[in-house]
Every structure is written in C-alpha cells, then in structure tokens.
Chain A
Amino acid sequence: MSGNFWKFGIAAALVLLPASIALAQDALDADQTAALCHGGGSICVSAKIPAARTTLAVQSWMSPDVGAAWAAGYKGQGVTITIVDDFSSSSRFSGNFGIGTQYQRHGEWTREEASMIAPSATIRSKDFSTGSAVSLASGRNVLNLSYGMYATAGYGVNQIGWAPEEKSIISYATWGSAVVSKAAGNDSVAVGGVTGGQQDYLDLALIGKPTAIFVGALSTNGTTSNKAQLAWYSNYAGSNTAVQSHFLVVGVEGNKTGLYGTSFAAPIISGYAAIIGSKFTSATPVQITNDLLNTARTDTLVNYNPAVYGKGEASLSRALAPVAIH
C-alpha cells in the first residue's frame, strides 16, 4: 500500500471524536469532513484566534479543584494551549458551558472549554484540516487533540503516511516538547481498539510517548462520597500497561452542558496542565505530564480498575500539592 494511498485514507478518515453524542445529527460524517478540509485542492489556513475570555466564574460542570486553584492564583498564565481541531467546517452544534447557549464548531467548543479551565493561558487555534505542522510557542506548551485519525484496522503505525500536522504532534509527544492531551475516543473500546473495522491510528502512534495523555470521560466529577463511573460511550484504558500508565479520566457532565464525549474531557486535562505549568514555571512537559498522572485519584471512582480508568481521575489540587513538606 503506497504512502499516497495512506495519506488519502487518513484524510478521509479524519474525524472529530463525536462532538456531542446527544447532538450526533449535527455532526459531519467522515467523508463530508474530508471534503471540507481537503477537497478541491483548497488549503485550510491555520489561524491563531484569541480565545474569548467570556467568564472567570467557576461553572458547575467543573471539578471543585478548578475553583480552588483559581483562588490560589493559578489560571494557566505563561502556558500556551494549542487546540488542534475543526475551526473551518460548516458543522456546528449547540451547548452551554454555563454562559448561555451557543452554536459553535467543534474546535470552538473545545477551545472555549480549555480557556474556561485555564483562563490566563494563551490559547491558540490550529485548524486540523490544513495538515500543516503544528508549531510550538515559546515557553511551556500543551496540545489539545479532541479528534482521531481513523483508518482500516490492521496496519502498523509506521505504515501510516502521516501529514506534517500529526507527524509534528507525535514528535512533540515523543521528545517531550509539549504535553499532548488526546481524547480517548467514544467507541466504548480500549484505546487503540478496533471499532467498525477501524482503528484510531493517532491513539496508536501516541502509546508509549512520554508526554501523551489519553483522556477518558466520567459521567460526573467523582468524590469519595459520590464516586464516578466511566461514561457509557468513553473508550477505556484496556490491558496495555503503556496505555494504562498514561490514561486519565475526568468528569464530563453533559447533563449540565449538553456536550458529551471525550472531546470535552481532553480540554480539561489541557487546562489542568496549563495551570500546573503556571505554578511550576520551570517544569518540563514530561514533569507536568507525570505530575498529572502520578496524582490521579482512584478513591473517587466506582470499582477502580486500571484497565478501565488507567491512572484514575485527574486531581488538580493534588497535582499542585507537595509530596511531602517539613
């Protein structure tokens, strides 16, 4: 199978992880998405759109940890989150992050969510349809990937003819240049598993990379008294220990926002990473990643099992706290 064939195959299969499962009728199918981004030889321009600073209020869908971190002054300053997503298609859907109902593209939603978690972070938008390499900003970087790259199952990652975009992302995760927060997927299979005869090869390519974090969705934010469980749609960690050790879960309270899917889990981790980076100003992406992974909680989850929840539910307050103090 030639490289060119694979580039087309990947482009045709580039899909948003279902932006809103409850609003699936609004989503484009894979072919429509590909046509928008690659059809007619058009090039989607990579844009840097300042994120709207719509509100600084802690919303009910957020973990209480976020408010605590804000009260302590950490809002992600000094860190750049690049949202690689759809900013150019005609596909829009409605939701409400607590600031009123809006009708937006997938990327506009994930960007808004990340900017609400880490309001002082610099947010950049990279339209994934361009395929051009993702550039990093100076300083600490976080990449948010609320999409997958699907193709027929059974190929090796090395057989994929990656576009410069994904090639750059995989490289950053490999060399620890940026924290890469990747939505786990919404097919109720293990990360990298086969669904409908296809696999998310971006998941597969990021397994074992030091700064890649796969993010699954819980149906609520967990507490010790009200434990959370994996959302019915969310992909889980599976038996691969390399995935388990880089898999986190967070609450995606779609009943409050109208927005479901691991697409809205990944921006929470992106925001957390930015907040940690704003406290530990000399931390490397590897250190930030490991801090998030090592401080995840398991006592807030129903029947914790690493094959389901990986490292557990991300805990921002614990990630900001010392291991020991004297």
Chain B
Amino acid sequence: MRERSDIRGGSRAAAFLLCAFLGASPAAAQELTTSLVDIHQGSWLSDRARGLGNGGYELQDGSWVSFNRWYHSNWVDMHVDFLTQLTENSGILWGFGTGEQAEKYRIAPSLKLGFLTQTHPSLNSTLSLSVTSTFGGNLTEKPCVADYGELGTYSVNCRLAAGETAPEETLKYLVNATPERLRLWLNYRVTF
C-alpha cells in the first residue's frame, strides 16, 4: 500500500512518462499504439476509508471494539492508466480502478476516460493539456446494527454508536464520497 504522497509521486511519474512518450516517438503515433502510463494503488478515498478505522470504544460490558476490524481491507484500490496515441500530438487516456471493500465500506470500481494533446511553442518546449473524467469509484460507508439492550436496537453509524447524537441521527454521518470526477492537467516543458 502506498502513502498518499507516493500516489502523487506516481501521478507525476505518469505525467513524465506521457511527455516522454509523446515527445520522443512521433513515428509511433501513426501506429495507434497503446502504452501503459501509470499503475498505482490507493487514492485519497482509500486514505479516507482507512482513516475511518482509527479509534474505537467500549461496549457496555467493557469489551473494546476497534474500528479497524470494520475498515480494514486486504486489497487497496488499484488504478491502471493507458494512453492510446491517435496522432503525433494527441491521444486518448483511459484506465480503470479495481475498487476495494471492507466489512463496513466499499469503493466501487471505476473507469477513467480522457484525452491528451500537445503543441510545441518552440523547438525546445512542449505545452501539453490533458482532461480526464472518472466514472464510478464512489466510497460508501455501510451502517451497523447496534443493540442497546432495553433501549432498543438501531441501525447506526458504526463509528458513532457510542458517541454521537441519537442513534438514528448517526446515519446522517455515514461517509458517501465521490472521487475526483474531472481532472484538467496543463504542463509546459522546456528542454535545454
């Protein structure tokens, strides 16, 4: 599993790969080649889901409930991105995310689609623009069923069952987050 900074590092590496690819092999553009440009695990949604596993509380009998047991996934969302080059200076970016899930949350699989184009303002510079859109990949937290003995059984937010608002109100705080839907990326590179 990578840390968030590593993921960003992965994106930067991918961008570098893209620039290198488009700038260095104009002949290959004519062949409609597809290249793997990035592969990484984790995202800010993965980080957020993992963060839900911090903490815990005591039940009425004093036994400790750790959130980690509900929010620990053996698999971290993997993203694989490709570039299919259409012309010397343009291509389609596409990819997918596997998603991940634990007992009390799910990150749905995702698809990524976009394009990349570039121009050369001068002989030794490249200006490139990419736009990508992500479909799916939502983080959805699932509720728990809490038994409060004589006080009843409620569907609750697992994390807040012993600690926030009335049981039925805790459901308002279930995490339901979406990934970055649209990404615009502009890069200017000068070689000297």
User: Using a CB–CB distance below 8 Å, which chain A residues touch chain B?
Assistant: 68, 71-73, 278-283, 286-287, 290-291, 294-295, 297, 299, 317-326
Contact = CB atoms under 8 A, between A and B. Distances in A.
Interface in B64-92: 65
Nearest to A69: B163
A279 B166 contact: yes
Contact of A297 (B62, B146, B151, B152): B62
A318 B60 contact: yes
B16 interface: no
A325 B144 contact: yes
Nearest to B158: A325
Given A73-B164, A279-B165, A280-B152, A323 B147 contact: yes
Contacts of A326: 144-145
Interface in B23-75: 57-62, 65
Given A286-B150, A297-B62, 18 more contacts: A71-B163, A280-B151, A280-B152, A280-B167, A283-B151, A283-B152, A291-B150, A291-B151, A294-B150, A320-B163, A321-B162, A322-B147, A322-B161, A324-B146, A325-B59, A325-B145, A325-B146, A325-B161
B188 interface: no
Contacts of B146: 322, 324-325
A295 B60 contact: yes
B149 A291 contact: yes
Which of B145, B162, B167 has most chain A Cβ within 10 Å? B162
Contacts, number: 81
B149 A294 contact: yes
A321 B57 contact: yes
Nearest to A295: B60
A73 B165 contact: yes
Contact of B162 (A283, A287, A291, A322): A322
B163 A68 contact: yes
B148 A322 contact: yes
B152 to A, nearest CB: 7
A73 B162 CA distance: 11
Contacts of A324: 59, 146-147
Contacts of B144: 325-326
Contacts of A279: 165-167
Contacts of A323: 59-61, 147-149
Interface string B132-166: 00000000000011111111100010101111111
